[in-house]
Amino acid sequence: MNEMNPKILEKLITTPMPFGKYKGRFIYQLPAGYLEWFGREGFPSGELGMLLSTINEIKQNGLEELLKPLINRLHGKSNFSE
């Protein structure tokens, strides 16, 4: 993964999933299995696909903890599933 743009990190935390079983959940809250499915089947095009691919990489590499300070700042909490 390349150096992370802070604006992309913010979008992972503030962008809701626009469709499907997890519609309305923030991108960072999507389960790893769901993201892995997209990885096998293909991520959507455009910004959504980039965000899903990015959070998939973060989760696969065990880097979720790095998002907690930003989550706390933007949402006032640090949990990854709700």
Among residues 43, 8, 42, 46, the alpha carbon closest in space to that of 28 is found at 8
DSSP notation for 6-68: HHHHHHHHHPBP-SSTTTTSBGGGS-HHHHHHHHHH-PPSHHHHHHHHHHHHHHHTT-GGGGH
Give strand pairing partners of 16: 26
pLDDT for 82: 43
pLDDT, one tens digit per residue, over 24-72 is: 999 999 999 999 999 999 999 999 999 999 999 999 999 999 899 999 9
In this prediction the pTM is 0.85
When the pLDDT of each residue in the chain is averaged and rounded to a whole number, the result is 90
- How far is the C-alpha of 35 from the C-alpha of 52, rounded, in Å? 7
Sorted by where each begins, the domain ranges of the chain are 6-75
pLDDT for 80: 52
- Using the predicted structure, report yes or no on whether residue 23 has a pLDDT greater than 80: yes
